[in-house]
Structure 1
Amino acid sequence: MRVPQDMTRERRGPSRAQLILVGVVVIAIVLLLSLKGLAVFFTDYLWFSNYHLGEVWSGVLLAKVELWVVFAAIYLAGALTSMVVAQRQGLRQPADHDDELVQRYRAFANRRRWVLPVVLAVVTTLIVASQAPAEWKNWLLFGHSESFPMRDPEFHVNVGFYVFRLPFIEFLISWFFLAAAFTFVLTAVVGYLTGSIQPQRREQRVAPSMKAHLSVLLAVMALIKAIGYYFQRYQLDFSTRGFVEGASYTDVHAQLPAINLLIFISAVACVLFVINIFRQGWVLPVIGLGLWAFISIVLGAIYPAIIQKFVVDPAQGQKELPYIARNIAATRYAYDIADVPSEPYSATANTSSSVEQANLDSLGAARLWGTSTPQQTFGKLQAIRSYYQFPSLSIENDTINGKPTPVIIGVRELNAANLPAQSWVNQHLQFTHGYGVALAPANEISAAGNPIFLIRDLPPTSSGGAPTLTQPQVYYGQGLSGYVIADSRQAEIDYQLPDGASSETHYAGSGGVRLSSLLVRAAFAMRFGDINILVSSLLTTHSRIMFERDLLQRVEMAMPVLHYGSNPYPVIVDGHIDWVINGYTTTANFPYSEQANTQALSSSAPLANTSFNYVRNSVKVVVNAYTGAMHFYVTDPSDPIIQAYEAAFPHVFQPVSAMPAAIASHLRYPSDLLAVQSAMYGIYHVTNPSTFYSGGNAWSLSAQPQNGSISSGSSFSFGGTSQNLMSPIYEMAKVPGTSSPQLALMEAFVPFSQSGGQQNLTGLLFGEASASDPTQLVALTTPSSGQIDGPALVASRIVSATNVSQEITLLDQHGSNVSLGGLTALPLGQNLLWVRPMYVSSQANPLPEIKEVIGVYGTQVAMEPTFAGVLRDIFGVVPSGVQGSSRTSTTATVPSSAAGLLAKADQLYSEAQAALKSGNLGAYQSDIEQIGQILSELKAASVTGKAAG
């Protein structure tokens, strides 16, 4: 039989050594599960440090840590103190409890008083404090707040209070109320376990000391609620109750007084709870809560609804006018459309030849190629290899042979999904980069209807005054995922040579992170879940791992406080390729400003997935395609938001004056920004509140002409209209008031209508950019008394014209496909010429070529194989000063004699066969086009000789 000492020994808990062992095992498991997170943390630090952005990494991390530590400490101290006091009070109560759980806990708490309060406080701290780090952006803005040059007209505080301070203050209020509520619940739980709260009793269910304790917590919650109501008043400036956003008549005359009364009631409730600390009853708390609920429902909800229904709605046009005026002023400032110069524009169709003679520079720079349909053409003619592709094309303004010329440019980027073999070496060490660009004038067409490439082939060759590439490798571009490792023992492929060998290189830049040690390699192996990074013998301490190679993901990681444009574009600078990305500062806290209409944006555009009522294109980000180095240039130093971020990260941003001149000369107006601005300008070009309310002069963005028809897609709504919207278009235009054509972004307006049926042109909005002013807007307003075709009507005229419809019927058969390109508007003084290319391609193997150029001038529709022919049909003369508009040979001067022409053709034929064998389809196509041109010249010479004979 066991003696009592043995039984006591058996009931003892685990030994200290066992507890230590269990603790070590738990820590080891946690560390093992956290290894990837630690690897990402460490490798992120290396990435930021390599690009001299450690200030961003440490600044964001410090802000998150500060918030978590401070809020965790506040909550932990408050909750733990409250529970310890509650437990001490409960244990002092008589131990006459029938509840077995209470008896057991009291026995346990007498030995280990701190265990339960500490455990509950720590666990709930992890929950409650976890919300704080997510507010790091608002915390940065709060700590570096700036002023705006305007004040809120209702509460007479600077707009900067709403943008920089109010969001974080509101978080503080909601967080403290949540923390107080958690503390109240935990205190009540401890009170129940210690016997201070016994709901099963008929009398004195709650001990007097616990009543006093809970009254203190309720008083704190009532005080927080009163403070919350005080700051809730400012939220009225974002109300959507009225005709426009912002504090309306009902908000000011009904909702605001109700909130002020709720502040008073909450303060009274706080006082009643304080008094109840001494009275220790339930009457005062019930009175306080009941009064608050009654006032909140009756005055906070019912009364404003009555005022809106019976006072405002019957006379809204009169009651809301002062508030509409506030909204107009705020919205025009918030979207930077307050000072847009507006020029009257008749958009006539003067057929005098003096029109084209006076606008030779505009006509010569007229853009024919777009950026969507020709993407297939670029891919077929210039991708050269399956592992290269052109993810996008861009329109830019370049100087070709001393003249400003619109050019279409595409970067030949790596197509990792189409490598010859998907081995680890191929994917990560050998095929690491794209190579070069293809560039062609956007206003020229070859004899076969293709672009005339001034930069082409592999290796890239330049002609016609185009810039020369000396560093064509592209390690950073669009849509690149995963990682590559450069400068390893495995040579990297640039391109393949005609004999089947490869032109190879070894990376010599500073991009990525150097795999300088076994620890670094192990960290990256853990991050990417790839043991090859750790064990491969092809890697050295000089090898560099490159990740976050997609441009948008890259800059978002480097500077997460900005939003970015969806259309990065390349610029050739000093022989290398740089990418330019637009960076936007936004906020949804600009008082009285209307929320942005982003429905004209592509669904993939970052701004399309952002809620905001203020936007500035304050930053241009330049990313080197070879090293991945990023430079952030401030282009709008007057923006208070970017001023705050400059103060938070003082060594990251540079003034635009520090931007290289070669890049500054290629700045262009952001398409995402103009899409937003034009949607707002169509409504807010009206500044008179009465006219604005009536909506009689409101404009909508034009419907998108697609192959002459209007299809349903994205919608724009203001009062109910919904239709597919026209996207902004880049073109070389001489806007009235300028002396020469500039690359401009154009958007067209039509009258607003509920059905969207109005399609006559009411105005055009042009955005231009320069190094001194990257966001210049000018509006052209057409006469309201006349009928001028908008883009959708112009598109309808094109497809209904007999000569066009017959040509489409003729070409759109027997395996061919006809499509119409983008419709551009070309201002010619007070006259307007619309231009649209016609593409023809094979259905089986699409290679879109421009076969016809269509011009619309008033009601006249002309279609010719050349743009010069279109101008001849419209104006009656062939403008000799228009350069590059007619179909141009892709070859240089050829010998004039027949023998010389035949010799040249023979040489080109041999080169074409060699190019075909090597797989260089771009060179093959070029040679064939030149042979065709020579044959045309021989034919012309033969006809001329016969005529002479």
Structure 2
Amino acid sequence: MTDQTTAAPRSRRLSPLAITIVLVVVLIIAFLAIASVMTEVLWFEQLGYLEVFAIQWLAAAAMFVIGFLGMSVPTFIAIDIAYRKRPVYARLTAQLDRYQEVIEPLRRLVKWLLPAILGIFAGVASATNWETILLWWNSEPTGEVDAQFGIDLSFYLFTLPLLQSVAGFLSAVVLISLILGVGTSYLYGGISFNEREFRISKATRIQTAILATVYLLIQAGSLWLDQFAALTDTSGFATGAMYTGVHASIPGKQILAGIAAIVALLFLITSITGKWRMPVIGTALLIVSSLVLGVGYPWAIQQFKVLPDEQSVESEYISRNIEATRKAYGLDQVKVEPYDAITDAEPGALRNDAVAASNIRIMDPEVISRTFAQLEQLKQYYKFPNSLNVDRYELDGQVEDTVSAIRDIDLSGQTSWYNRTLVFTHGYGMVAAYGNQRSAGGEPVFLENGIPTSGRLGEFEPRVYFGMDSPEYSIVGGDHEKPIELDYPSDVSSGSEAPADEAEDATPAESEEQATTEADAAEIGDGTAEEVNTGRANLTTFAGEGGPELSNIFTKIIYALKFQDVEVMLSGAVVDGSQILYDRSPLERVQKVAPYLTIDEAPYASVVDGRIKWIIDGYTTSADYPYSEIQDMNSLLVDADNQRTSMLAKPVNYIRNSVKATVDAYDGSVTLYAWDTEDPLLKSWSKVYPGTLKDVSEMSGDLLSHVRYPTDLFKVQREVLSKYHVTNAGAFYSDEDAWRTPDDPVASTSEGTANPPQPPYYLTLSAGANAEPTYSIYSTYIPDATGDTARDILTGYLAANSNAGSEDGKIAEDYGTLKLLTLPKSNTIPAPGQVQNSFNTDPKVSTELNLLRQGGTRVISGNLLTLPVGGGLLYVQPVYLEASSGTQFPLLQKVLVSFGDSIAFEDTLDGALDTLFGGDSGANLEDVEGGEEPGSIAPDDGSEPSGEGEEEPSSSGNSATITQALRDMQEALTDRDAAMQEGDWTAYGEADARLKDALERALGG
């Protein structure tokens, strides 16, 4: 016998180093998580909405715990019972023996770990339903009932979604527990079978039968709930339970629920008797019944009852859909007014619409944004948005429509952390121009501009720390010996008289410190050093409360981690009192403090009560309103101004503009106002977050004067109304009067793609007979037809009153009124596409446009506006010119107008209107009530617009020959292009006048 040396088994214990590494990793992960949460806590706390964060996180955490325990505990019990009740002397196959040998060493770990993993997944899924549970908990009856069951709508909006979520969760828990219990019993002999027999132990039988009983009872409950969910079913002719749903699907769901409950009882009996025959038969019956009642019977009713006479059979249910849809989308109070539009442009036709005509906006906010940038950007570190805001201000007792934008900061040229974070921290100023005027050179006429800002908007805080394009984060304020934030350059002035590179010096504000030392210049660095050295940069220190303070090393560390910048922690410029500003987009700030809102994509900034404030509309939405048509909200918002499409659909069939929000551009403070206090969703959310909503009575008159009807809500409503303006079920079914929004004729798209819909426009207009001019948003309709049946004629004109008034705490009575002007089918009023085609093909217009394009000058067609004035429809389109080289920005040079089949093309709007209406449109306010003319040309001497239009060039009856006129035109074009490239606007105006004179002589006057 030989001795054998047995090697000592290696210890599987982790070494101290491995344990240390694991602990360090865990601590790092934990600290990063804590840092992430703490930065959110500090952000909400500083803004005054910490309760929103706390409620949201506590609700989500509670739902996670419920989901975790609700899944992990039952699944653990199912595994544990199946193992503990396993047969002691089970006859196992060789294969099962091998399975047990593999599993046994890991059995305890699997028994605990598998339910825990399943619980984590279930907890995460449950946490996403925190809104559902909070809404239900704080709901209250609406006082309105559905058309099928007569149940209060609160059941569908709040209770049904919760019950469906609970039923789905419980089904998953019981089903997974059943599978795990059966699987464990099989592995340990509780269940065995072969070709000759099937064996199941008593314990396994009882466990399986009870779980099956519970599962079928839950399914019975789900089937019962499905009858109510049928009221938002989208498989029929329209959303809701149609004839087949009411007479086949709903009764079928009720019967199936009863069958499922009976089969559940049979399984419960089996757990006692051990007889499987009846529950097996019952299960088979349930499956067959599901096919017959859930598929076969509804199909038969649809084919043999509904389709042969669908219009008549579905009439009642289509009416339900129409009524519910119009109410859910806020269209039940639309005022419909026939509008028998005339087409003859008679002299004086606009006399009764002089106020509306005088406010026609000839400045296209999509086109002149580049003009704003050229004239008012002033420095390379400023920028303007691609689209300007359309707003209005009361000036000297008269409301003026304007186009405006804030001058935001641009960090694209800054490379150092110091500059990007501590120096270039904010934009500066509001720039606003009259919407209905231009200078002699075609530039906007500014009512507020320059640095320091000046004009007619009074004194206000011009600094913009919170804007749509603000830096990701900035560190501001603090106890610095000297200011280090660049406030504004002092070597620039208003850009309204010349491009930015020709601007003159301006006097800096006395309240700000002007940096003059080499040390200051060295600190600021980059492109600002020269400005600081020569005293041409004014510095400031943020004096508000806009972000959490970096008051200790802990806050510096967590923000250094958040933004992955160690400088936040190490920089000596971060001193006591320094604040860190982040999440600065107004949309993001409102969304975070009001997570239940759908935010309008078109925020706008206005000067309100001495501050620049962003005004944002918030919506409460639902997809659970009975019988209301379900739409994808994201697709409804797409038009020429918003061609971004979301990959994720947002189904809605109920929407309310429930909240108006403001964000202060200086300190970022967010204020939420409860706008629609009758909205049941808002009532519930106001209970969830008590104290976060202010009453409309707290809104100042100045703020209310800038509130407007929301863009996105109007887009949704116009698309729904394009079909649901028809209230007769028979006509609705035949789809004989369906409309659509016309394509934008001036939108730029890629080759081979259709133009997107024309966006709605804000204008001061009179919608309908005897209507007073008011600030409104409007859109038009054409027949919804394609191919040979397509007709580009107007069928409807929708306008929403956007004037909320100017009285403190009181919304104007007519605000939000929707008016639909319907045109007779016998009329053939051209739609925007047809009008644009007429503009492009008119011989006189095309000739002059071709002349204007000589030398490479670019002709830009502005937005094509439609106004119901003069008893007909007036179209107005500004035409801009842009040089092909040198300094390039659009200048308004011509205005196209159309009424019926008549077209005019002149230098000014009032001139074009007079030409269009036989020499006198009647729109001159001076003739009516001593006001301004529409589209007047402002003087170039910096004075306020006088209201007198530019004198029309005269046409000489004894002109030179056509040949001489063409030579004069060519010479004038050459001189004008040269003047534009050199920025000589006086010479440009003179050459332009010579061009017009020569053109009229060439065309025979």
TM-score range, shorter chain: 0.7 to 0.9
Instruction: Give the letter aligned to residue 223 of structure 1.
Output: L
Counterpart check, 1:55 vs 2:97: no
Look up the SS of the partner of 1:336 in the other structure.
coil
Instruction: Give the letter aligned to residue 134 of structure 1.
Output: T
Instruction: Give the letter aligned to residue 725 of structure 1.
Output: P
Q: 1:653 to 1:453 in 2, by over 3 A?
A: same
Contact between 2:409 and 2:469, CA under 8 Å: does it hold in 1? no
Look up the SS of the partner of 2:31 in the other structure.
helix
Counterpart check, 1:397 vs 2:392: yes
Look up the SS of the partner of 1:828 in the other structure.
coil
Q: Give the match for residue 410 of structure 2.
A: 415
Alpha-carbon offset, residue 23 of structure 1: 6.7
Counterpart check, 1:615 vs 2:648: no
Alpha-carbon offset, residue 571 of structure 1: 0.8
Q: Give the match for residue 952 of structure 2.
A: none
Contact between 1:152 and 1:158, CA under 8 Å: does it hold in 2? yes
Counterpart check, 1:682 vs 2:682: no
Contact between 2:877 and 2:896, CA under 8 Å: does it hold in 1? yes
Counterparts in 2 of 1:536-575, with a 5 A limit?
Answer: 536-575=571-610
Residue 781 of structure 1 is aligned with which of 812, 822, 825? 822
Unaligned runs of 5+ in 1: 715-722, 895-923, 938-949
Counterpart check, 1:861 vs 2:903: yes
Q: Give the match for residue 442 of structure 1.
A: 435
Q: 1:873 to 1:593 in 2, by over 3 A?
A: same
Instruction: Give the letter aligned to residue 803 of structure 1.
Output: K
Q: Distance in 1 between matches of 2:762 and 2:862?
A: 13
Tell me whether 326-335 or 120-129 shows the greater mean CA deviation. Answer: 120-129
Q: 1:615 to 1:712 in 2, by over 3 A?
A: farther
Alpha-carbon offset, residue 366 of structure 1: 1.3
Residue 938 of structure 2 is aligned with which of 873, 885, 888? 888
Look up the SS of the partner of 2:323 in the other structure.
helix
Instruction: Give the letter aligned to residue 741 of structure 1.
Output: P
Q: Give the match for residue 459 of structure 1.
A: 452
Instruction: Give the letter aligned to residue 341 of structure 2.
Output: A
Q: Distance in 2 between matches of 1:80 and 1:804?
A: 81
Q: Distance in 1 between matches of 2:987 and 2:32?
A: 60
Q: Distance in 1 between matches of 2:49 and 2:62?
A: 20
Alpha-carbon offset, residue 660 of structure 1: 2.1
Q: Give the match for residue 742 of structure 2.
A: 702
Residue 799 of structure 2 is aligned with which of 762, 766, 772? 766
Look up the SS of the partner of 2:488 in the other structure.
strand
Look up the SS of the partner of 1:835 in the other structure.
strand
Q: Distance in 1 between matches of 2:602 and 2:645?
A: 8
Tell me whether 661-670 or 728-737 shows the greater mean CA deviation. Answer: 728-737
Look up the SS of the partner of 2:25 in the other structure.
helix
Look up the SS of the partner of 2:873 in the other structure.
strand
Normalized against structure 2, the TM-score is what?
0.83
Instruction: Give the letter aligned to residue 549 of structure 1.
Output: R
Q: Give the match for residue 39 of structure 1.
A: 35
Look up the SS of the partner of 1:305 in the other structure.
helix
Q: Distance in 2 between matches of 1:712 and 1:235?
A: 42
Q: Distance in 1 between matches of 2:565 and 2:986?
A: 50
Unaligned runs of 5+ in 2: 492-504, 506-530, 806-810, 945-979, 994-1005
Alpha-carbon offset, residue 738 of structure 1: 6.6
Q: Distance in 1 between matches of 2:913 and 2:429?
A: 36
Look up the SS of the partner of 2:798 in the other structure.
strand
Counterpart check, 1:476 vs 2:466: yes
Q: 1:704 to 1:52 in 2, by over 3 A?
A: same
Look up the SS of the partner of 2:716 in the other structure.
helix
- 1:221-250: per-residue Cα shift (whole Å, max 9, x none)? 111111110101112112223221110111
Alpha-carbon offset, residue 860 of structure 1: 1.0
Q: Distance in 1 between matches of 2:688 and 2:643?
A: 31
Contact between 2:70 and 2:173, CA under 8 Å: does it hold in 1? no
Q: Distance in 2 between matches of 1:667 and 1:359?
A: 24
Counterpart check, 1:746 vs 2:778: yes
Instruction: Give the letter aligned to residue 411 of structure 2.
Output: A
Q: Distance in 2 between matches of 1:584 and 1:22?
A: 53
- 1:3-44: per-residue Cα shift (whole Å, max 9, x none)? 99x98x9669767xx699977754542332343332121100
Alpha-carbon offset, residue 931 of structure 1: 8.7
Counterpart check, 1:660 vs 2:700: yes
Q: Distance in 1 between matches of 2:767 and 2:105?
A: 85
- 1:611-648: per-residue Cα shift (whole Å, max 9, x none)? 11111111111000111111111111111111111111
Q: Distance in 2 between matches of 1:928 and 1:200?
A: 100
Q: Distance in 1 between matches of 2:686 and 2:32?
A: 33
Alpha-carbon offset, residue 386 of structure 1: 1.8
Q: 1:712 to 1:738 in 2, by over 3 A?
A: farther
Q: 1:764 to 1:657 in 2, by over 3 A?
A: same
Tell me whether 884-893 or 325-334 shows the greater mean CA deviation. Answer: 884-893
Q: Distance in 2 between matches of 1:600 and 1:69?
A: 38
Contact between 2:589 and 2:670, CA under 8 Å: does it hold in 1? no
Q: Distance in 2 between matches of 1:350 and 1:619?
A: 45
- 1:298-325: per-residue Cα shift (whole Å, max 9, x none)? 3212322232223212211111101100
Alpha-carbon offset, residue 553 of structure 1: 2.2
Instruction: Give the letter aligned to residue 484 of structure 1.
Output: S
Q: Give the match for residue 485 of structure 1.
A: 475
Instruction: Give the letter aligned to residue 115 of structure 2.
Output: A
Q: Give the match for residue 916 of structure 1.
A: none
Q: 1:925 to 1:607 in 2, by over 3 A?
A: farther
Counterpart check, 1:426 vs 2:459: no
RMSD: 3.1
Q: Give the match for residue 364 of structure 2.
A: 370
Q: Distance in 1 between matches of 2:547 and 2:40?
A: 11
Contact between 1:240 and 1:246, CA under 8 Å: does it hold in 2? yes
Counterpart check, 1:146 vs 2:178: no
- 1:782-836: per-residue Cα shift (whole Å, max 9, x none)? 2222221222222222222222111211112322111211111223252332111
Q: Distance in 1 between matches of 2:78 and 2:540?
A: 68
Instruction: Give the letter aligned to residue 564 of structure 1.
Output: I
Contact between 2:234 and 2:630, CA under 8 Å: does it hold in 1? no
Q: Distance in 2 between matches of 1:152 and 1:473?
A: 52
Q: 1:93 to 1:577 in 2, by over 3 A?
A: farther
Contact between 2:793 and 2:834, CA under 8 Å: does it hold in 1? yes
Q: Distance in 2 between matches of 1:352 and 1:932?
A: 35
Counterpart check, 1:100 vs 2:97: yes
Contact between 1:763 and 1:781, CA under 8 Å: does it hold in 2? yes
Counterpart check, 1:596 vs 2:631: yes
- 1:425-469: per-residue Cα shift (whole Å, max 9, x none)? 11111111111121100000100001011211222121xxx2134
Q: 1:737 to 1:658 in 2, by over 3 A?
A: farther
Q: Distance in 2 between matches of 1:28 and 1:263?
A: 55
Contact between 1:351 and 1:874, CA under 8 Å: does it hold in 2? yes
Counterparts in 2 of 1:493-512, with a 5 A limit?
Answer: 493-498=486-491, 500=531, 501-512=536-547
Counterpart check, 1:345 vs 2:335: no
Instruction: Give the letter aligned to residue 765 of structure 2.
Output: A
Look up the SS of the partner of 1:90 in the other structure.
coil
Alpha-carbon offset, residue 693 of structure 1: 1.2
Alpha-carbon offset, residue 140 of structure 1: 1.7
Alpha-carbon offset, residue 584 of structure 1: 0.8
Q: 1:608 to 1:576 in 2, by over 3 A?
A: farther
Contact between 2:423 and 2:486, CA under 8 Å: does it hold in 1? yes
Normalized against structure 1, the TM-score is what?
0.88
